[in-house]
Amino acid sequence: MEKITVVGSGYVGLVSGTCFSEIGNRVICCDVDPFKIAMLRKGEIPIYEPGLKELVKKNVDADRLFFTSEIGDAIEASDIIYIAVGTPMGDNGEADMRYVHEVARTIGKHLNSYKIIVNKSTVPVGTGEQVRQIIMENRKNRFVQFDVVSNPEFLREGSAIEDCMNMERAVIGATSDKAAKRIADLHAPFRTRIFQTNLESAEMIKYAANAFLATKISFINGIANVCERVGADVTSVAAGMGLDSRIGAKFLQAGIGYGGSCFPKDTFALSYIAEEAGFDFSLLKSVIAANDEQRLVVVDKLKQALGCLEGKKIGVLGLAFKPNTDDMRYAPSLTIIPELVRLGAYVRAYDPIAMQAARNQIAEYYEDFETLEEALEGCDACLILTEWSEIVEMDLARVKQLLTAPIIVDGRNCFSVREMKEREFVYYSVGRPAVTTGSANASAAKTVSL
Ligand SMILES: NC(=O)c1ccc[n+]([C@@H]2O[C@H](COP(=O)([O-])OP(=O)(O)OC[C@H]3O[C@@H](n4cnc5c(N)ncnc54)[C@H](O)[C@@H]3O)[C@@H](O)[C@H]2O)c1
Ligand SMILES: O=c1ccn([C@@H]2O[C@H](COP(=O)(O)OP(=O)(O)O[C@H]3O[C@H](CO)[C@@H](O)[C@H](O)[C@H]3O)[C@@H](O)[C@H]2O)c(=O)[nH]1
């Protein structure tokens, strides 16, 4: 049993802290945001993450998981201190390190005994060394020792608990073998593969992994755009490519590009790191540019289906950057909805979970509705931006009744082209043949001429 303090109780800190308590450790999660801590103390969860509420309750009840905004006290009470604060995108695309540095100062001031400081936030190479320096400068007793370790996090929102409890690998970067072993031992109950390396390489592995996954997505989106023009189907192409074990089937789902709190900021940060180090990472820059362009393919498809967007009512389904999260950071909807409005459309929107989070960001651009049906009622077309299961499983016959014309533009390839043809929808998806014929086309044509 280790005594662990996790500084930062957001998506990563709260989930990993809870999972560390689940495997038997005594964990204190702390945060500068007193409202977050007050909620957590009442058993409420500030974020939407499936299974988290139950797991938090289980471990709080077992006296293994605690919450506080007294960060100094929490640091003094533990032997392993995890840093899990945000590293958002700064002005030039570089990672904004102010929260990590602030935590390092606080750790320094409260270093009352030997501790291992573990960085879980995604940070540029060299941060471990910076954290070490800051702690040295701020520690009151210069005889108290400490080690700094990098242990980047790879969980995905929406499946965070599953990813954490069944992690594929734990990357541990350290200068001290003793500290690295202790963090490796901490992970033993997860029965995961340990990959030990130096601090710098561990920090780089996180950016490299995210940039590679982002590259896979931009690549398949490029292939999708070619497929549309030459009559191939990207879902078949991806499936066929994925059978090659050197390529793999994952992260080859074409759509409206990657969003979320990580890929956009981490690709920019890595590009900046490369630039600073004297390397023009043109491939990565192209991945970012391709992702920006991919957002707008669904707007072009709506234009093709409706003629023009001026005065048209568009029912947007899905606002979150992916299903099973309320996270709106860099969600494609944040770009697409304002663009539709700029082109004269009127947007009615629905998301099963992210409605409040979306309102906080772009409320002025659309009207939101409590149900999918209300959002679609009287719309000229339906636009799918997130593949929530409620949306994938929606009653298409009912959707047809609700829309003024049976037009669906699907940014996530939720339905089979054949089914949409049989159901006589005008159906545009990404990287697959458009369905523009049949009785649905007559309705569409009518809409265009209105
Ligand atoms: N969200 C993910 O899926 C994910 C996955 C892997 C890695 N990461 C990385 O993990 C880090 C955290 O990401 P997140 O999504 O959990 O961020 P988040 O914004 O959800 O949470 C960060 C928390 O840190 C708190 N905080 C800020 N300064 C603090 C301080 N000085 N002391 C105590 N608390 C402080 C904030 O109030 C906030 O609650 C980032 O570097 C991110 O890139 C995120
Ligand atoms: O084939 C795919 C897979 C994903 N996406 C999009 O890519 C984005 C990111 O998806 P995902 O990776 O599932 O979600 P995140 O929660 O952002 O997780 C990523 O970012 C985290 C933060 O660094 C890492 O820890 C995870 O390993 C990494 O997968 C989303 O917009 C998805 O819609 C696609 O367009 N096509």
In a domain, 254, yes or no: yes
The residue from 172, 197, 222 where one domain ends is 197
Q: Is 429 exposed, middle or buried (0-12, 13-18, 19+ CB in 10 A)?
A: buried
- The preferred substitution site among 7, 9, 11, 213 for testing ligand 1, maximizing ligand atoms within 8 Å of CB, is 11
216 Cβ below 6 A of ligand 2: no
User: Which residue's alpha carbon is at the smallest distance from atom 30 of ligand 2?
Assistant: 258
Atom of ligand 1 nearest to the CA of 155: 5
CB 417 within 8 A of CB 354: no
Joined tokens for residue 314: 């568009």
**Distance from the CA of 438 to the center of ligand 2, in angstroms?**
37
In a domain, 363, yes or no: yes
**Distance from the CA of 98 to the center of ligand 1, in angstroms?**
12
Question: CA 414 to CA 418: how far, in whole Å?
Answer: 12
Q: Are residues 235 and 142 in the same domain?
A: no
User: What domain range is 238 assigned to?
Assistant: 206-281
**Distance from the CA of 86 to the center of ligand 1, in angstroms?**
3
Q: Are residues 314 and 333 in the same domain?
A: yes
Q: Which residues contact 260 (CB under 8 A, 6 or more apart)?
A: 157, 321, 322, 327, 329, 330, 331
In a domain, 358, yes or no: yes
User: Which residue's alpha carbon is at the smallest distance from atom 7 of ligand 1?
Assistant: 153
Atom of ligand 1 nearest to the CA of 11: 16
- The preferred substitution site among 19, 28, 31, 69 for testing ligand 1, maximizing ligand atoms within 8 Å of CB, is 31
Question: CA 293 to CA 258: how far, in whole Å?
Answer: 11
Residue 204: alpha-carbon gap to chain centroid? 19
State the pLDDT at residue 443.
Answer: 44
3-state helix, strand, coil in the chain (%, to 5): 45, 15, 40
Residue in this structure with the two tokens 């500084």, named with its chain if needed: 7
Q: Are residues 117 and 244 in the same domain?
A: no
In a domain, 88, yes or no: yes
Written as one string, the DSSP assignment of 305-358 is HHS--TT-EEEEE--SSSTT----TT-THHHHHHHHHHTT-EEEEE-SS-HHHH
In a domain, 289, yes or no: no
- Please enumerate, as own/partner, the contacts of 39-47 that have beta carbons within 8 Å and a separation of 24 or more: 40/9, 40/14, 40/67, 41/67, 45/14, 46/9, 46/14, 47/10, 47/11, 47/14, 47/326, 47/327
Domains contained in the chain, number: 3
Question: How, if at all, do strands 65-68 and 146-150 pair?
Answer: unpaired
State the pLDDT at residue 86.
Answer: 97
**308 part of the active site:** no
- What pTM value is reported for the model? 0.95
CB 391 within 8 A of CB 409: no
Q: Are residues 274 and 360 in the same domain?
A: no
State the pLDDT at residue 447.
Answer: 35
List the one residue out of 88, 95, 100, 130 whose CA is nearest residue 269.
95
325 Cβ below 6 A of ligand 2: no
Residue in this structure with the two tokens 């060394």, named with its chain if needed: 129
User: Which residue's alpha carbon is at the smallest distance from atom 3 of ligand 2?
Assistant: 251
* Rg over CA atoms, the chain: 24
Q: Are residues 193 and 210 in the same domain?
A: no
Residue 186 marked ligand-binding = no
| CATH classification of the domain holding 243 | 1.10.1040.10
State the pLDDT at residue 142.
Answer: 87
Q: Are residues 314 and 188 in the same domain?
A: no
In a domain, 343, yes or no: yes
Residue 67 marked ligand-binding = no
Question: CA 71 to CA 28: how far, in whole Å?
Answer: 9
Question: CA 128 to CA 175: how far, in whole Å?
Answer: 10
Residue in this structure with the two tokens 């499983």, named with its chain if needed: 393
Question: CA 293 to CA 354: how far, in whole Å?
Answer: 24
* Three-class DSSP category at 156: coil
Question: CA 383 to CA 258: how far, in whole Å?
Answer: 17
Q: Are residues 119 and 250 in the same domain?
A: no
Q: Which residues contact 226 (CB under 8 A, 6 or more apart)?
A: 232
- The preferred substitution site among 5, 7, 12, 121 for testing ligand 1, maximizing ligand atoms within 8 Å of CB, is 12
154 Cβ below 6 A of ligand 2: yes
Q: Are residues 137 and 94 in the same domain?
A: yes
Atom of ligand 2 nearest to the CA of 217: 36
Q: Are residues 257 and 390 in the same domain?
A: no
ipTM attached to this prediction: 0.98
State the pLDDT at residue 25.
Answer: 98
In a domain, 288, yes or no: no
| CATH classification of the domain holding 113 | 3.40.50.720
Give the residues surrounding ligand 1 with Cβ less than 6 Å away: 7-13, 30-33, 36, 71, 84-87, 99, 102-103, 121-122, 153, 155, 157, 261-262
Written as one string, the DSSP assignment of 361-389 is HHGGGEEE-SSHHHHHTT-SEEEE-S--H
Q: Which of 262, 379, 382, 414 is catalytic?
A: 262
Question: CA 257 to CA 288: how far, in whole Å?
Answer: 10
Residue 253 marked ligand-binding = yes
Residue 155 marked ligand-binding = yes
In this structure, what DSSP letter does residue 189 have?
A: G
The residue from 197, 225, 242 where one domain ends is 197
In a domain, 184, yes or no: yes
Question: CA 116 to CA 317: how far, in whole Å?
Answer: 46
Q: Are residues 252 and 374 in the same domain?
A: no
281 Cβ below 6 A of ligand 2: no
Q: Are residues 61 and 127 in the same domain?
A: yes
Joined tokens for residue 114: 């030997």
The residue from 163, 197, 231 where one domain ends is 197
**pLDDT tens, the chain, 450 aa long:** 999 999 999 999 999 999 999 999 999 999 999 999 999 999 999 999 999 999 999 999 999 999 999 999 999 999 999 999 999 999 899 999 999 999 999 999 999 999 999 999 999 999 999 999 999 999 988 899 999 999 999 999 999 999 999 999 999 999 999 999 999 999 999 999 999 999 999 999 999 999 999 999 999 999 999 999 999 999 999 999 999 999 999 999 999 999 999 999 999 999 999 999 999 999 999 999 999 999 999 999 999 999 999 999 999 999 999 999 999 999 999 999 999 999 999 999 999 999 999 999 999 999 999 999 999 999 999 999 999 999 999 999 999 999 999 999 999 999 999 999 999 999 999 999 999 974 544 444 333 222
Residue 157 marked ligand-binding = yes
Q: Are residues 247 and 149 in the same domain?
A: no
Q: Which residues are paired to 11 by β-bridges?
A: none
